[in-house]
Structure 1
């Protein structure tokens, strides 16, 4: 059977560069980190609810260090992987983990089925994967603004994202014995399109497409800014949404 490589939607070097810039920005005051903070808090709540105390855990993508610190306090042996150097589409160097947590990472790999398969292989028997990603319902106002910016021939400027059903199917395809995918929405108010874009860059969530479109011209950018504020409320703030999908799978 002929093996077909997955389409190259994302550029790994651009992704690594965006994360490096985000960490530099995080050193400044008042930078945004609410997406990752929400993911970390949610994972900690899930672990407490499940009363899960892993002996050996792998944490991917938590540049705040909060999750590893909490797990280490529970006497777990914790390995942290930096997504700037980790290639999720390749087998992991180590295995035998009771718990693997991946945050804000798997939604930007070209071969997600392979990445999930490698993570399952790195789990010990009965080990559990918890992966949080931004889902298909994210950033509807920004998407609408980008369409308004270039109404005749809109360029591809935003990432394709997966939905709940697709995520469940991918977990099953990767061979997880049980799988659960749930979603929740986070709403953030913005006074301008520029502030939203800045927040995304703060968190390493900016564009990393393999074939990025050129920058918007002045007229197109003005249209985007106007469209973004068209739904602003009385306080002149536009409500933007982030859908967070949490994929949970157990290794048989």
Structure 2
């Protein structure tokens, strides 16, 4: 498909009530009209992603995004069908799309909050059109996409239940959402080291690592958004660094620095040095490196359709467990 035809299709998909532009500032209400938590400074996150997008596309800064993007793509391949039109929310530099072929996804809409990131996206064989938009406000019509994917973007959403409802809304019936986000145990080594160091040096600590969603909540959120046939699983990705400074530098280069409103804007030098010592003492490897653990939550949810398998009614079984227990395996005498 030519870029002109893809652009024409995009205009048809875009809702008349377009979403707020990424520079429109913070909002305390979700598009559904319900009040939402305002944990993250979304404008700060845009600036962080914009700065990260301006950096050279090095393997170091994007190792985690490339790794998780590949694992999301593997889950797309597990579904034996071709998706005519897919949406990648917070797609960055095509970290998922570069692992997919046009035999699986025929056309792709790639979104991100950073224009620089979209301009530096990696070229793939899938016809792609980029849209600058906020993940919290999807500007697309209902029943537009056969597949929605997202990798390492939704954990910065203030209204995650509202975002999942929007994803459900833009999917076609029998469409599927496959996503990955950072979970609650991510960077526990960094969090613990900073807390211990600040408590010892400053008499208290401030949150330097963002709060993340727990896996126990994710299934409920997907169900409340209207998805069925849910799958949620966890995968730990551990990256090894020379020290705490390299960990924090890499997070900044990925655009993954903390943007919570209650974050502390300054880390004292003494506290950083103390945290580095604690990090190596408590978690250091024999070779002198330190691990940084990322808990990745993967989710799959389907938009309901009449063709999907449905559970039978309660009490409609024709055999009981008692009857099943009477079935015995033949012994050697019976076989002979």
TM-score of the alignment, normalized to the shorter chain, above 0.5 = yes
1:149 paired residue among 197, 200, 208: 197
Q: With a CA cutoff of 8 Å and minimum separation of 6, indicate the structure with the bigger relative contact order.
A: 1
1:32 paired residue among 58, 61, 65: 61
Shift of residue 64 of structure 1?
Answer: 2.6
Secondary structure (helix, strand or coil) at the match of 2:48 reads helix
RMSD across aligned C-alpha pairs, in angstroms?
1.8
| TM-score, normalising length: structure 2 | 0.70
Q: 1:29 to 1:156 in 2, by over 3 A?
A: closer
Shift of residue 179 of structure 1?
Answer: 1.4
**How many pairs were matched up?**
249
Q: Which has the larger radius of gyration?
A: 2
Shift of residue 71 of structure 1?
Answer: 4.5
Secondary structure (helix, strand or coil) at the match of 1:50 reads coil
1:135 paired residue among 157, 163, 183: 183
2:231 paired residue among 180, 193, 197: 180
Structure 2: 5+ residue stretches without partners: 1-32, 115-131, 305-336
The answer as to whether partners of 1:130 and 1:248 remain within 8 angstroms in 2 is yes
CA distance in 1 between partners of 2:171 and 2:58 (Å): 38
Shift of residue 108 of structure 1?
Answer: 0.5
Secondary structure (helix, strand or coil) at the match of 2:206 reads coil
CA distance in 2 between partners of 1:72 and 1:80 (Å): 15
Structure 1: 5+ residue stretches without partners: none
2:165 paired residue among 101, 117, 128: 117
The answer as to whether partners of 1:191 and 1:236 remain within 8 angstroms in 2 is yes
Q: Deviations over 1:65-124 (max 9, x none)?
A: 253355462251211111334223334324410100011111011110000000000000
CA distance in 2 between partners of 1:215 and 1:54 (Å): 47
Mapping 1:157-196, distance limit 5 Å: 157-196=208-247
Secondary structure (helix, strand or coil) at the match of 1:186 reads strand
Give the stretch that moved more between structures: 160-169 or 204-213: 204-213
1:215 paired residue among 261, 266, 291: 266
Secondary structure (helix, strand or coil) at the match of 2:78 reads helix
CA distance in 2 between partners of 1:66 and 1:89 (Å): 20
